[in-house]
Amino acid sequence: MARLALFFGEFMAVREIKASDITDTVRMLCIEANTDLGDDVIQAFEKGLKQEESPTGKAIFTALLENAKIARDEKVPMCQDTGFAVVFVEMGQEVVISGGSMDDAINEGVRHGYKEGFLRKSICDPFTRKNTKDNTPAVIITDIVEGDKFKITIAPKGGGSENMSRVTMLTPSGGKEAVVDFIVQRRQEAGSNPCPPVIVGACIGGTPEKAAILAKKALLRKIGEPNPDPELAGMEKELLLKINNLGMGPQGLGGRVFAMAVHLIKHPCHIASLPLAVNICCHASRHKEGEF
Amino acid sequence: MSDEIKKITPPLTDEMVEGLNAGDQVSITGTVYTARDSAHKRLIALLDEGKELPFDMNGAVIYYVGPSPAKPGQIVGSAGPTTSYRMDAYSERLMEVGMKGMIGKGARAGHVVDAMVKHKAVYFAAIGGAAALIARSIKKVEIVAYEDLGPEAVRRMEVEDFRVVVINDTKGLDLYKMGQEKYQIA
């Protein structure tokens, strides 16, 4: 709905979005993300099945394809760990939200989605470990962008793979080589824990907190979609080869496909720093988008 | 890795466990108990206080899982393994009182691998993330303790042809290392 609002004595168009509509969309996206694996991931499984040399590894790809089909057909979560609800918002600066705050609307959507979708509630107090019982609060990362669109991406991520994330502050002298070495080593150390075949997300640059967010965001790119930056595209190829040459394979049981993709993002950094964040995603690379 | 599938039914004995080797494909039919981080902590606290455990640990197989809620008509929600290293701190104590098998995913600490040799126990992996598929081999579920922990409650599960693979055996072997050695390109 377009409205005219008075800003600094001038009228400008604003687009109104109802908080209740955001709640509805979030509810639906939470269920969809956890039950309907993206086609890009399914295609990566099919490619992996062809590429894999180990019989056990092949059997794992077959099981993952079957698992994804059961989840989609029966609308049940593909993994029991339905994750922390991580929500990326791109909010056009001409948008106003009516009928409540955006964060409340999103959390209400998570609450409904996790209940109605029979998704596991996995969020607890860090010390008492007492469960919040509705999977809230969500982690909400908001970017204010140009225009009047409101885009929301839900990316639930399980604890097993999230525990394998790392942020490190390398020294600039180490350069690209240090970055590649750290990512390969992290992937090796994480072993079978993050449910390989994985997608490795990483951000080089920024500050520690910026890098951590962008490493997670890197996972949202479709598998198989090339990195628009040729330098990073080359590094992704090199990293994927090195990681798969480790021979750890699907589920770490030995084989060719330990990772299905490496996704990198670069961001300017301080002259004193070379920050690097690595975020490993399990094979159930879940994310769904909605737009208003 | 052998193509043969070894069938076992818990409770496991020393002889049964000694007959399993790293890399063996195993089909479990019978009772397994579920426990994750918080349940393990409580079980160990009971042992520390000299109290009785909520289920018989003799020959028991513990499955590291926190299932998603069952939909109407379902026996259990999705139920794949969680990462095992978080239970490393507790596992030897449970082996001392009779636990013979653990099902999870991911490598165990050296001291846990040693404890498996000492106490004759095995560690199995199920396919991490194949949770909707694994749920099909679970035929009955009942909460036996710690209902307040929600997904982390201890459950008795009756499973049928639950497919796992032996990672660590009673000889100290480790399938994760063996598998990598076979496929690593230097």
- 8 Å CB contact of B129 and A79: yes
From A157, A173, A200, give the residue that closes a domain.
A157
Q: What is the pLDDT of residue B186?
A: 80
Cis peptide before B11 (omega within 30 of 0): yes
One-letter amino acid at A14 equals V
Q: Which of A134, A157, A180 is the last residue of a domain?
A: A157
Cα distances (angstroms) measured from residue A71 to each of A34, A68, A78, A156, B116: 8, 5, 5, 15, 35
Retrieve residue B176's tokens: 């994760």
CA distances from A155 to A82, A83, A137, A265 (A): 10, 9, 14, 18
Same domain, A149 and A188: no
Cα–Cα distance, A240 to A83 (Å, whole number): 26
- Compute the distance between CA of residue A222 and CA of residue A158 in angstroms, rounded to an integer: 19
Task: State whether A140 and A163 are in the same domain.
Answer: no
Indicate whether A174 and A50 sit together in one domain.
yes
Alpha-carbon gap, residue B18 to A35, rounded angstroms: 40
Is some CB atom of chain B closer than 8 A to the CB atom of A37?
Answer: no
Out of A140, A157, A174, pick the residue that ends a domain: A157
Looking at the fold, whether A43 and A166 belong to one and the same domain comes out as: yes
Q: What is the pLDDT of residue A4?
A: 61
Domains of chain B, CATH where assigned: 5-182 (3.20.130.10)
Q: Which of A63, A251, A252 sits opposite B133 (nearest CB)?
A: A63
**pLDDT per residue as tens, chain B (186 positions):** 457 899 999 999 999 999 999 999 999 999 999 999 999 999 999 999 999 999 999 999 999 999 999 999 999 999 999 999 999 999 999 999 999 999 999 999 999 999 999 999 999 999 999 999 999 999 999 999 999 999 999 999 999 999 999 999 999 999 999 999 999 998
Q: Is A173 exposed, middle or buried (0-12, 13-18, 19+ CB in 10 A)?
A: exposed
A62–chain B nearest CA distance, Å:
10
CA–CA dist B55, B57 (Å, integer): 6
d(CA A68, CA A118): 17
Residues with Cβ within 8 Å of A84's Cβ and at least 6 positions away in sequence, in order, are A122, A123, A135, A138, A139, A156, A157, A159, A162
**How far out from the chain centre does Cα A150 lie?**
19
Q: Per-residue confidence of chain A (292 residues) as pLDDT tens digits?
A: 556 665 565 666 789 999 999 999 999 999 999 999 999 999 999 999 999 999 999 999 999 999 999 999 999 999 999 999 999 999 999 999 999 999 999 999 999 999 999 999 999 999 999 999 999 999 999 999 999 999 999 999 999 999 999 999 999 999 999 999 999 999 999 999 999 999 999 999 999 999 999 999 999 999 989 999 999 999 999 999 999 999 999 999 999 999 999 999 999 999 999 999 999 999 999 999 999 9
Number of domains in chain A: 2
Claim to verify: residue A165 and residue A198 sit in the same structural domain: yes
Residues A118 and A234 in one domain: no
Q: What is the pLDDT of residue B50?
A: 96
Same domain? For A256 and A219 the reply is: yes
Rg from Cα positions in chain A:
20
Are residues A122 and A267 located together in one domain of the fold?
no
What burial letters (b/e) apply to B25-45, b meaning 16+ CB within 10 Å? bbbbebbbbbbbbbbbebbee
Assign A154 to helix, strand or coil.
Answer: strand
Give the Cα separation of A161 and B82 in Å (integer): 10
Amino acid in position A45: F
Element (H, E) at A41: helix A39-51
Gap from B116 CA to chain A (nearest CA, Å): 20
Which domain, by its residues, includes A63?
38-70+159-291
CB atoms within 10 A of CB A231: 11
Distances (CA, A) of A79 to A21, A89, A160, A287, B155: 27, 24, 11, 14, 18
Same domain, A275 and A135: no
Q: What's the confidence (pLDDT) of residue A3? A: 62
Question: E-assigned strands of B40-153?
Answer: 61-63, 101-104, 122-125, 138-145
Q: What are phi and psi of A157, to 5 degrees?
A: -135, 135
Report the distance separating Cα A179 and Cα A174, nearest Å: 8
The model carries a pTM of: 0.94
Instruction: Test A245 with B67 for CB contact under 8 angstroms.
Output: no
Pick from A42, A60, A81 the residue to mutate for testing the B interface (most B CBs within 10 Å): A81
Contacts of A71 in chain B (CB under 8 A): 78, 132
Specify the pairing of strand A139-145 against strand A86-92: parallel
Single-letter amino acid code for the residue at B113: V
Tell which of B25, B27, B63, B83 to mutate to test the A interface (max A CBs under 10 Å): B83
Q: Specify whether A214 is located in the same domain as A257.
A: yes
- Chain A closest-CA separation from residue B6 CA (Å): 16
For residue A118, list chain B residues with Cβ-Cβ distance below 8 A. 68-71, 77
Domain identity same for A20 and A164: no
Q: What tokens were used for B162?
A: 């639950």
Burial class of B62 by CB neighbour count within 10 A (0 to 12, 13 to 18, 19+): buried
Give the per-residue pLDDT at A13: 75
B51 touches chain A (CB under 8 A): no
Choice among B36, B40, B108, B155 that is catalytic: B40
B151/A282 touch (CB, cutoff 8 Å), yes or no: no
Are the beta carbons of B183 and A255 separated by less than 8 Å? Answer: yes
Q: Which chain A residues are closer than 8 Å to B127 by Cβ? A: 60, 63-64, 67, 251
Task: Kindly state whether B44 is in contact with chain A, defined as any CB-CB distance less than 8 angstroms.
Answer: no
Q: Do A254 and A166 share a structural domain? A: yes
